[in-house]
Amino acid sequence: MPPVYDHFGRWFFQDNDEVHQVSVIVALCYYLVNIVLLGP
């Protein structure tokens, strides 16, 4: 798993900030890009 996944896991369990939501979206986008670049 990329390091971003660990950060996403931490953000996912934190539920207090709007920044949290933005961070999750950024992490998901980055993770999906990695999947596309690395292949299935």
The SS3 of residue 13 is: helix
**pLDDT value at 39 more than 50:** yes
Q: What per-residue confidence (pLDDT) applies to 27?
A: 84
Q: Does position 11 have pLDDT exceeding 60, yes or no?
A: no
Domain ranges in the chain are 3-38
pLDDT at 33 over 70: yes
Q: What is the pTM of this model?
A: 0.45
- DSSP structural state of residue 28: H
Q: How far is CA 37 from CA 3, 5, 7, 30, 33, in A?
A: 16, 16, 20, 10, 6
Helix 18-38 to helix 3-13 angle, to the nearest 10 degrees?
150
> For residue 37, which of 6, 4, 12 has the smallest C-alpha distance?
4
pLDDT of residue 1: 44
In percent, the amount of the chain with pLDDT more than 70 equals: 48
